[in-house]
Structure 1
Amino acid sequence: MRVLHIVTGLASGGAERQLLLTLRNLPAHQRCEVATLTNPGAVAGALRADGVLVHDIAMRGNRDVGALPRLVRLIRTGGYDLVHTHLYRAGLYGRLAARLAGVRAVVATEHSLHPGVIEGRPVTPGVKGLYLASERLGRTTVAVSRQVERTLHGWGVPPARVELIPNGIDAARYGWPVGQRAAIRRRTRDDLGLPQGSWVVGAVGRLVPGKRFDVLLDALAQLDGPRLVLIGGGPERAALERRAERLGVRGRVLLTGERDDVPELLTALDVLAAPSTEETFGLGVLEGLAAGLPVRHSACPALDELPPAAAPGARRIPSDPAAYAAALRELYDRRAGGTRPLAPAPAVAHYDIARAAADLGALYDRLVYDRPLHGRPLHDHPVPGPVPAPPGT
């Protein structure tokens, strides 16, 4: 089976990294290529390093309609059996191009949708109308959480057209023995210029307003001692740097830019903070738990769908500086985390990427070959029991 994934861009954001992980875990008979409408960033390089062919459509903006015939030609020439789109702009252009090229098996994953917000932008009547019109050109829309599923139904997308396949995390990527993790932590801190004895708060995500990283800067200004590492790139970088200067904390803040070594970077942290209130899944929170870090977050639909025992190291708090300052001060005063990771959280095993990719592969087979799912819903995975501690603990 030949599959073309069409994505708006390939900067190192949550949806883009999720695509990378998915392609690494899909069944072997599903051969995938990727077309990016714009910005072939860090994830494009990682895909190419994996041997995935990446096509750059070189779209110049939302209204560059010349991208449509380029996509149609690519799909016809490639002889793809299925087209899978990711993110709003790719969904609009990709689903239409697939239908014009004669591909009937068209899937879209909805990564970031709230009732009034899509990918961090307000939903106007025009945006919603275009979304629903393009949705009808596909066969199935994949929701990455029950929150997204409910929003799609609320917008009028029929339940029969929606499949719930939660995002996944590469749990094995974080499973270092304690001694090896400590060595990686020391090396990573040296590379980042972080003192070995410092206590470090970290956050992962695109530097965009919806992530609310300004909350962490304001909280840091209320604390003496801790440092802050923001892992990710994006348009808000300069504004965050200026805010840190105004608050007098610039010397305690490190912005790494786009990175593809997030698991290693997380070993350098003592706690992960996630002040965003607009998450549709909460991948960064799961990454923090996988790295054995205590997590303080303001929104994580992935955890909301599980019992509290699935993530004992995570705590939900309001997204305001005072709340984060208090929570971080409590952890700092007792130096939670440190070099010894917390026990693996059952939530991490529940959302293992291998499960998500297997479910997606089964959906592809059903759409292309009309194969049944053998009576099991795609998303029907029980919450696992406690998992053993990592080797060396």
Structure 2
Amino acid sequence: MTARVLQVITGLGIGGAEQQLRLLLRHLPARYRCEVLTLTNPGPVAEGLRADGVPVSCLEMGGNRDLAALPRLVAHIRRGGYDLVHAHLYRACVYGRLAARLAGVPAVATEHSLGAREIEGRPLTRGVRALYLASERLGAATAAVSPTVAGRLGDWGVPPGRIRTVPNGIDARRFAFDPAARRRLRAELRLPDGVFTVAGVGRLVAGKRFDALVEAVAALPGAVLLLAGDGPERTALRAQAARLGAAERIRLLGAREDVPELLAAADLFVSASREEAFGLAVVEALAAGLPVLHGPCPAVDDLPGDHAPGARSLGECPAAGLTAALRTAAAAGPRRLPPPPAVAHYDIARSADLLAELYAHTLGGARPPRVPRPTRTRTPVPVERAARR
């Protein structure tokens, strides 16, 4: 039996949650016909979804407090005749679960970014937590991307019976080491043979601690940093590299689609984040056969130690020993490792199967009562039209 599912997400710029949504939709069983509604920012991932054949619309929401967007979202859900709403990221979870309840459609959500101290860069204030918990009760279940996040949700007061663990996943074949890709990209980036090259991937925000990585690489004579990603810290990181006299060795590459090739070109991967809800880039680096240095990373920390032998933890304060760890790695020289068991554990097909089970369980339960239709409201704009505005 076919079910129509509306995926509601805060934005579709290049980010971990956005890319994960696209990958999951490629692997969900065909009986789930999915469409995507982004509240704002129909960015590059929207174009990728459309290229995959997934319909994408934009609600053109003005901000967190644009309450006028709620009736438009309710109307969109009703008009689409969806059987299920799946919300992603904080704002979409709050508005999406409420709109689904008002439209009389069951909802689930995925918690992608709940850290110990913040969620999507927001400090975990009493108000943020209260609003999250109030909206969580309106859905049928919340999927956590790691056991660590599941534990945090339970500590917040979400009943254990409402929490499902659906880990992030990767397409390991896409990240398998390719010597030809290594030679090609190193030539493109003018990296001579023998230059020790460190890779970092992620949104350029303070919590990722790329400033610590820049400082550590700058202190290692001759080493080069390839940093893929964009965000508000980009200008500050560029200025830091210049101040340290390492502007030529710190390569800020911006948001890129060729992360597998970037990992092939590198000799070491580093994640110096203060905290992560999962740590997807670490798993991708392990799939590429790279040695990895990481801070708190549930994707690795939640598994037995022998599942990721190429990953070395830098502890709770990853910036402290990072320079010394880089020196040790550089002295050991470039090496490629076989993909560890952690990579198979996070296969995207397995994650899609777990999500399909959650959908089936939710749709098999009682649907919430329908409520009277609101007055007619503005239709969300198709993403291709919104992008032209």
- Answering whether residue 369 of structure 2 is matched by residue 368 of structure 1, we say no
Report the Cα offset of residue 302 of structure 1: 1.6
Answer whether contact 2:295 2:318 (CA < 8 A) is retained.
no
Partner in structure 2 of residue 60 of structure 1: 62
- Answering whether residue 186 of structure 2 is matched by residue 200 of structure 1, we say no
> What SS does the aligned partner of 2:248 have?
helix
> What SS does the aligned partner of 1:260 have?
coil
Partner in structure 2 of residue 150 of structure 1: 151
Partner in structure 2 of residue 295 of structure 1: 292
- Answering whether residue 73 of structure 2 is matched by residue 75 of structure 1, we say no
Partner in structure 1 of residue 41 of structure 2: 39
Between the aligned partners of 2:235 and 2:266, the Cα distance in structure 1 is 23
Partner in structure 2 of residue 326 of structure 1: 324
Report the Cα offset of residue 14 of structure 1: 1.3
Which amino acid letter does the alignment assign opposite residue 303 of structure 2? L
Say which of 1, 22, 40 aligns to 1:20: 22
Partner in structure 2 of residue 256 of structure 1: 253
Answer whether contact 1:203 1:272 (CA < 8 A) is retained.
yes
- Answering whether residue 337 of structure 2 is matched by residue 342 of structure 1, we say yes
Report the Cα offset of residue 322 of structure 1: 5.0
Report the Cα offset of residue 241 of structure 1: 0.9
* Cα distance per residue 1:170-215 (max 9 Å; x no partner): 1121235xxxx11111222233343344221011111111100001
Say which of 308, 312, 326 aligns to 1:315: 312
Q: After the TM superposition, which segments of 4 or more aligned residues of structure 1 sit over 6 Å from their partners?
A: none
Aligned residue runs from structure 1 range 350-389, under 5 A? 350-370=345-365
Identity rate, percent: 59
Aligned residues: 363
Between the aligned partners of 1:135 and 1:250, the Cα distance in structure 2 is 46
Between the aligned partners of 1:321 and 1:91, the Cα distance in structure 2 is 33
Report the Cα offset of residue 263 of structure 1: 1.4
* C-alpha spacing 1:74/1:192, structure 2 compared with 1 (3 Å): farther
Between the aligned partners of 1:11 and 1:309, the Cα distance in structure 2 is 35
Which amino acid letter does the alignment assign opposite residue 71 of structure 1? L
Which amino acid letter does the alignment assign opposite residue 86 of structure 1? H
Alignment RMSD (CA, Å): 1.6
Report the Cα offset of residue 21 of structure 1: 1.1
> What SS does the aligned partner of 1:263 have?
helix
Between the aligned partners of 1:7 and 1:188, the Cα distance in structure 2 is 33
Partner in structure 1 of residue 270 of structure 2: 273
Report the Cα offset of residue 304 of structure 1: 1.4
Answer whether contact 2:273 2:318 (CA < 8 A) is retained.
no
Answer whether contact 1:120 1:278 (CA < 8 A) is retained.
no
Residues 283-292 or 63-72, more deviating: 63-72
Structure 2-normalised TM-score?
0.90
- Answering whether residue 243 of structure 2 is matched by residue 246 of structure 1, we say yes
> What SS does the aligned partner of 1:303 have?
helix
Which amino acid letter does the alignment assign opposite residue 169 of structure 2? G
Between the aligned partners of 2:218 and 2:257, the Cα distance in structure 1 is 29
Between the aligned partners of 1:149 and 1:320, the Cα distance in structure 2 is 24
Which amino acid letter does the alignment assign opposite residue 247 of structure 2? R
Which amino acid letter does the alignment assign opposite residue 351 of structure 1? Y
Residues 204-213 or 248-257, more deviating: 248-257
Structure 1-normalised TM-score?
0.89
Where do 5+ consecutive residues of structure 2 fail to align?
A: 367-389
Where do 5+ consecutive residues of structure 1 fail to align?
A: 372-393
- Answering whether residue 214 of structure 2 is matched by residue 217 of structure 1, we say yes
Between the aligned partners of 1:115 and 1:220, the Cα distance in structure 2 is 28
Between the aligned partners of 1:23 and 1:193, the Cα distance in structure 2 is 37
